[in-house]
Structure 1
Amino acid sequence: MIKSTFWQKLFTTIVLVSIAWLSWTTNATAYYNEEEKIFLQAWRIVNQAYVDDSFNDQNWWFVRQRFLDRGFSDRSATYDAIEEMLATLDDPFTRLLRPEQYRSLQVNTAGELSGVGLQIDINSQTKQLEVVTPIDNSPAEKAGIKPRDRVLAIDGVKTKTLSLDEAAAKMRGQVGTPVTLTVQSGSGKNTNIRDVEIVRDRISLNPVYARLDDNSGETPIGYLRLAQFSANATKEIAHSIANLEDQGAKGFILDLRNNPGGLLQAGIETARLWLNSGTVVYTVNRQGMIGSYGATDEAVTDAPLIVLVNQGSASASEILAGALQDNDRATIVGETTFGKGLIQSLFDLPDDSGIAVTVAKYETPNHRDINKAGIEPDYKVSQSLLPFSEMGTGDDQQYQEAVKLLTKQTLVAQN
């Protein structure tokens, strides 16, 4: 009887505590105003998903409370607070996307863009705004801007005062309007700083250029250039492979030079076009848990393949090159790639803004960490950056080396 009474009292106490806690959390949530709720949603997303569970060696709960104590007078102040909070992570890829920026990013990954045609990044070591690559045939490429150039100012505004998205927004604008970029090239005694005026234009992001090279000896070669991993990239590559084989292609050169990446899933699906088996990429989250993406036994061709890369090949390009290299499916020719091995996910906030958060890093099938290291080519061939019109021609040394290697591989496969 005594035991029964004890457990009844304990159960009643637990129920009362649970009800009290639920009541408190409900009231606490109701207590926050709209600005605080937006801030807290951003904080929770980072708290649950960010790759570094030390949050750059700081107490994330204390960070939360410090900003809540300060308060937010309006939406602009809320955005400023979120950006300041994210800046404490010292990760340029984890960032707030205000509504206009968020809409613009979604449009860009769908394959539409207007502006100067630069893919940019913030160098994690120097903190400078850096060119990953100019888009093929864009105003920036025609103006002579090259991968690894630093953009010091945009219309006189120093880029060190701008976030990545703010810098991108300043470069965008109406077709026909000018923008002046202060660009630094080279290093040490070879440093060159200059102002470059560029007239904005409509940027074509058709991701695939394909043609049959039947002037390369006895082996007709299918040349595929992939500009970026947009939503329709895999479909376009698959269609081009089929067309080129119908035209007689016996081997392929896949050109990923100056391809800055794009959608992770597009990189994975493109790798699957070439692989019948094996791992495409591993992802590693903050708990050290490893996930993987593999081939699906649906390769569209088993023809010999050479992949061209350079220092402007980044992110999803490195996933694809690493997957094909580690699975012995392709030979890599060119220069060491950019070295971006971090994965970001996009999360919606309640007011049509969004937040990009670094959630994991990726490794190649042989567990190589690409971040800051890049993919080393099997055959290193250095050359200055060529305009799009000269790629895949007799003046393209990297392409010519790929043709030689592919011709040998094709002849061996045929014998």
Structure 2
Amino acid sequence: MLQSSRRFSPFQIALVSGAIATTATLSVYAPVSSRSIRTSLQDNSPKILVDEVWQLVNTEYVDGTFNKINWQTVRQDLLSRNYTSKEQAYTAVKQALEKLNDPYTRFLDPKQFEALTDQTSGELSGVGIRLELNEKTNKLTVVEAIANSPALAAGIKAGDEILAINGKPTRGLDVQQASSLIRGKAGTLITLRIGRSGKTTDLRLTRATIEVPTVRYTLKQEGKRRVGYISLREFSSHAAEQMQRAIQDLNRQQVDAYVLDLRGNPGGLLQASIEIARMWMENGAIVKTVDRAGASDQSIANRTSLTNRPLAVLVDGNSASASEILAGALQDNNRAVIVGSQTFGKALVQSVHSLSDGSGLAVTIAHYYTPKGTDISHKGITPNIKLDLTEAQAQTLSSNPALVATPNDPQYARAIAALSTNSFASSSPNQSFK
């Protein structure tokens, strides 16, 4: 499986995802409809789309019984209808997929498909700012100007207010609406009216393709220990290279241990999870996938680890998919202590295909298992140190992000305590955690 990238088109992405996000690998495939199918259906183009979907499910779906329904009869029904619009075809396809009783096999309209591929690519085309709607001022406010972005180069800072976009006032717009106006084709111009300390300035920026940071890290002094804290938000196509840079930089700072935060990480590219596991593991199995024919594929570490320092991994109920693959590999190989709440519990792999009209289809194609053969579906991974946050604690951290990964963060504090009393790494395969 190859790593996902927007440079491939048309394409297929294999997904392992929890909260219907993605964990993806990619290989290049044309849409499945053959020329003969297109010729026979050319009088009704929506039927081409319908048959593309049917053919993909028929070829790839992990359950050869199709949830005990007659999939051939479904095709006959779909192609017997007359569709006067693509929207009618979309509805028919969605209804057919519901018969599989699999929420992860799903149709994506063009906007949904574009959003998914943007997410997995780890890139955006815009000026490179993260926005929020300030609760006190009710104004769109910059949270961050992304590194190497037009916004940062123009001097935009956290706290700046976005008052107008190309002359259109932003009052009344939500973050999503403003973001859609700011994004656009790389190389095109946009004017933002910026408010700062009571003064306004119009900035003319050129949109660019920007790598979205999904890895954030810092060096923390915890007592006598130098701890490298790394937060991974999702497994995008740039996550592995960002993780590599983070580990290498922290290694240069001579950290004694690491905390890898996967809380709230819903998944991403499968290949990214495998590559990142290899950065922490010198040897051992990472994950095994099994398709509907029973054929299995196992990924293993390849002696390319970047560190053997003690490692703690933070997880919660929103750690899903690729997060569970990584956490499961590190736990089963006794490479890390897992701290936090039970994870999401999804062990299915999807492939995502582009369709002829710009829409997409996600199809469940395989089941995955942890190195010890554990099926975590609907169960999740049980942390070595199980510690659930109270509602009050979760609310405090949510409303005060600066408290995350501090002594005010109970799960992080417990991970630091574990690191202080244990020495666990790939070189200590028999280490146990209390």
Query: Normalising to structure 2: TM-score of the pair?
Result: 0.67
- 1:156 alignment partner in structure 2: none
What is aligned with 1:70?
Answer: 81
Q: Deviations over 1:49-102 (max 9, x none)?
A: 111111111000001101212222232222222122112112221111222221
Does residue 47 of the first structure (1) align with residue 58 of the second (2)?
yes
1:174 aligns with 2:178: yes
Higher RCO by CA contacts (8 Å cutoff, separation 6 or greater)? 2
Match of 2:353 among 344, 347, 358: 347
Contact 2:132-2:175 at 8 Å conserved across structures: no
2-structure distance, mates of 1:93, 1:296: 31
Match among 219, 234, 257 for residue 212 of structure 1: 219
Q: Cα gap change, 1:411/1:378 in structure 2, threshold over 3 Å: closer, same or farther?
A: closer
The corresponding residue for 1:32 is: 41
State which of 76, 79, 95 in structure 2 corresponds to 1:84: 95
Q: Give the residue type in structure 2 aligned to 1:174.
A: A
Give the 3 Å change call, closer, same or farther, for CA 240–63 of structure 1 in structure 2. Answer: same
**Alignment check: 8 A CA contact 1:219 1:410 kept:** no
Q: Deviations over 1:88-132 (max 9, x none)?
A: 112221111222221221112223579xxxxxxxxxxxxxxxxxx
Q: What amino acid is aligned across from residue 105 of structure 1 in structure 2?
A: L
Query: Could you tell me which amino acid in structure 1 is paired with residue 73 of structure 2?
Result: F
Matches within 5 A, 1:85-104: 85-104=96-115
Aligned to 2:312: 306
Deviations 1:329-380 (A, max 9, x none): 1111111111121111111212222111111121100011111100000011
Residues 251, 410 of structure 1: 8 Å contact kept: no
Aligned residue for 1:393?
Answer: 406
Shift of 1:140: 11
- Provide the rounded CA distance (Å) in 1 between the counterparts of 2:367 and 2:303: 26
Corresponding position: 1:334 with 2:340: yes
Relative to structure 1, the CA distance from residue 171 to residue 38 in structure 2 (aligned partners, 3 Å threshold; closer, same or farther) is: farther
Q: CA deviation at 1:29?
A: 6.1
Look up the SS of the partner of 1:48 in the other structure: helix
Give aligned-pair identity as a percent: 40
Query: Is the Cα–Cα contact under 8 Å of residues 341 and 362 in structure 1 kept in the other structure?
Result: yes
The DSSP-based 3-state class of the residue aligned with 1:398 is helix
- The 1:287/1:274 distance shift into structure 2, 3 A limit, reads same
2:280 corresponds to 1:274: yes
Contact 2:310-2:424 within 8 A present in 1 as well: no
Q: Give secondary structure in 2 for the equivalent of 1:269.
A: helix
SS in 2 for 1:64: helix
User: 2: CA distance between counterparts of 1:360 and 1:54?
Assistant: 14
Q: Which amino acid is 2:178 matched to?
A: Q
Residue matched to 1:297? 303
| Residue in structure 2 matched with residue 258 of structure 1 by the alignment | 264
Partner of 1:409: 422
Q: Give, in whole Å, the separation in 2 of the partners of 1:106 and 1:56.
A: 28
SS at the partner of 1:320?
helix
Q: Partners of 2:359 and 2:83 in 1: how far apart?
A: 17
- Range with bigger deviation, 218-227 or 96-105: 96-105
Higher mean alpha-carbon deviation, 404-413 vs 65-74, is at: 404-413
With structure 1 as the length reference, what TM-score do the two structures score? 0.70
Whole-angstrom CA distance in 2 between matches of 1:218 and 1:137: 37
CA gap of 1:371–1:26, structure 2 versus 1, over 3 A, is: closer
Secondary structure at 1:262 match in 2: strand
Q: Does structure 2 retain, via aligned residues, the 8 Å contact 1:228–1:260?
A: yes
| Alpha-carbon contact 2:233-2:264 (below 8 Å) kept | yes
- Deviation of the 1:38 alpha carbon: 2.0
Question: Compared with structure 1, are the counterparts of its residues 140 and 352 closer, same or farther at alpha carbon in structure 2 (3 Å cutoff)?
Answer: farther
Which deviations, in whole Å up to 9, do the C-alpha atoms of 1:154-195 show, x marking residues without a partner?
A: xxxxxxxxxxxxxxxx99433499xxxxxxxxxxxxxxxxxx
Q: Which has the higher helix share?
A: 1
Contact 1:250–1:410 (Cα < 8 Å) also in 2:
no
Which residue of structure 1 lines up, in the alignment, with residue 72 of structure 2? 61
- 1:238 matched to 2:247: no
Separation in structure 2 between the aligned mates of residue 140 and residue 289 of structure 1, nearest angstrom:
52
| C-alpha displacement of 1:277 | 1.0
Given that 2:239 and 2:272 are in contact with CA atoms closer than 8 Å, whether structure 1 keeps it comes out as yes
Name 1:108's counterpart in structure 2: 119
Give yes or no for contact 1:209–1:226 (8 Å, CA) kept in 2.
yes
Question: How many residue pairs get matched?
Answer: 317
Task: Confirm or deny: 8 A CA contact 1:205 1:227 kept in the other structure.
Answer: no
Aligned partner of 2:365 in structure 1 is 359
Q: 1:29 to 1:99 in 2, by over 3 A?
A: closer
Question: Is the CA contact 2:37–2:48 (under 8 Å) kept in the aligned structure 1?
Answer: no
Instruction: Provide closer, same or farther for how the CA distance between residues 255 and 301 of structure 1 changes in structure 2, counting only shifts above 3 A.
Output: same
- Structure 1: stretches of 5+ with no match in the other structure: 1-24, 115-135, 144-169, 178-203
